[in-house]
Amino acid sequence: MRGGLTRTFAVMGAVGLLAVSACGNSDESSNSGDQAAADKNVTVFTWWADGGEKAGLDGLVSVFKNECKDFTFQNAAVAGGAGSNAKQVLANDLAAGKPPSTFQAHAGAELGDYINNGQVDDVSNLYEEFGLNKAFPQSLLDNLTVEGKIYSVPANVHRANVVWANPAVLKKANIDATKAPASVDAWIADMEKLKAAGIKAPLATSKGFAEEMVMEVVLLAELGPDKFTGLWKGETDVNGADVTAALEKFKKILSFSNVDREAVDWPDALGYVNKGTSAYTLMGDWVAAQQLADKVPDSAYTYWPAPGTDGTFQYLADSFTMPTNAKNPEGTKCWLKVVGSAEGQKAFNTKKGSIPARSDAVATDYPKYQQAAMADWKSDKIVPSCAHGAACTLGQNDGILSAMGQFSGKPDVPTLQKALAAAVKPS
Ligand code: GAL
């Protein structure tokens, strides 16, 4: 059914990955050592190193090559889902005063960390120059604006609360693949049925952020959008009984997942669904891009909003920055122009599974999945993702991720709830 995923995220350390990135991916790097040539380099730091994510990045690069002929793209991608390796490498580079020309950061709270640390420059003037104030919806501009200034250019909008399912596996347990279970409880009941039908791990998931995403959608479904959003702002009591009840359901769901979840990354979990070992994976819509890159036919999988979250679009947005004291600001400026442009967003998002951040995109230019996502983005209630930095800071996520690791090894709800309460407290 698919070409087979041969990812090695789980076994390679960040240092090894960087080496791969420097030697393997920088196919356009100058070998001459010539300073003038090096000055033309635009070093783009992301975690889009492979598969559908790399295909999206390649789309942006193809436009950059046309529009920014004076500059040379340098790929500084560090592999690992959701920046699991990249973020640490980036933090070290920034602390050492060696920023890339631009780096990927999530719009919202995560970007706030870089702003507060003085690591990114105000790019409001570029919004004027490139006409971006008119290109992006006001709600997104508001989300990006901090004390009247904007510090990045958004490339897309991704949806986090999506279940990707294998209809052939659901059929084995006589489950209707065309409809999402109506609630978390109904989803749990379906997982019981799948187990009884011989599917050992109905839900495929992976370490860290993927488990956090499962927890997030259960909290979202059980608490509702407003209470959910309040969790990360200190407005909802993390120690509340409703949170305890939701975490018990999360524990139950995790018990239906693959035992090797701590050793794999999200593309591997998706592979289990495509192979038929599992029925579902809960993952953001970069999955649509991965399926496209792996040529998995549309008929082999289906998708719906996570049970209990229909009508809610849990979003995150990738954006690119102008790092403070970066070497080639003119080159970065050209990259940001491409990122914000209609052509750049189309080249990127048609391949990345996301929808354009710009309001002027033509839906029919996009694959079927994105057309559906565009419609939902307009009609649904919009809620930020914590795991992908729209709602939560890097510090909050560090705490949550370590709680996830502990919970995956020893699923104890009171311990998890205590750790979450400590993690989300604003420092
Ligand atoms: C997210 C990022 C997405 C996608 C995903 C999986 O944090 O915003 O674009 O790359 O991680 O790696």
Q: What is the average pLDDT score of the chain?
A: 92
| pLDDT computed for residue 33 by the predictor | 61
| Ligand 1 centroid – CA 196 distance (Å) | 34
pTM: 0.92
User: Quick count: other Cβ atoms within 10 Å of Cβ 364?
Assistant: 6
| pLDDT computed for residue 67 by the predictor | 98
| pLDDT computed for residue 22 by the predictor | 33
CA of 387, closest atom in ligand 1: 7
| Ligand 1 centroid – CA 226 distance (Å) | 24
| The three-state (H, E, C) secondary structure of 128-155, written as one string | HHHCHHHHCCHHHHHHHEECCEECEEEC
> Is 158 touching ligand 1 by the criterion CB < 6 Å?
yes
Atom 10 in ligand 1: which residue has the minimum CA distance?
82
Exposed e or buried b for every residue in 159-194, given b needs 16+ CB within 10 A? bbbbbbbbeebbeebebebeebbebbeebbebbebb
The conformation of residue 47, written as its DSSP 8-state character, comes to S
- What is the per-residue DSSP string for 309-376? -TTEEEEE-EEEE-BTT-S-HHHHHHHHHHHHSHHHHHHHHHHHS-B-SSS---GGGS-HHHHHHHHH
Atom 3 in ligand 1: which residue has the minimum CA distance?
82
CA of 284, closest atom in ligand 1: 5
Unique residue bearing structure tokens 């009840």:
245
> Is 315 touching ligand 1 by the criterion CB < 6 Å?
no
Unique residue bearing structure tokens 């947005």:
317
| Ligand 1 centroid – CA 111 distance (Å) | 14
Which residues in the chain show pLDDT less than 70?
A: 1-33, 426-427
Atom 11 in ligand 1: which residue has the minimum CA distance?
82
Q: What is the pLDDT of residues 293-344, one digit of tens each?
A: 999 999 999 999 999 999 999 999 999 999 999 989 999 999 999 999 999 9
* Long-range residue pairs from 54-57, CB within 8 A, at least 24 positions apart, any chain: 54/293, 55/289, 55/292, 55/293, 55/351, 55/352, 56/289, 56/348, 56/349, 56/351, 56/352, 56/353, 56/354, 57/348
CB-CB contact of 278 with 153 (8 Å): no
> Is 127 touching ligand 1 by the criterion CB < 6 Å?
no
> Is 227 touching ligand 1 by the criterion CB < 6 Å?
no
Best substitution site from 7, 17, 47, 60 to test ligand 1's pocket, by max atoms within 8 Å of Cβ?
47
Q: What is the pLDDT of residues 351-373, one digit of tens each?
A: 999 999 999 999 999 999 999 99
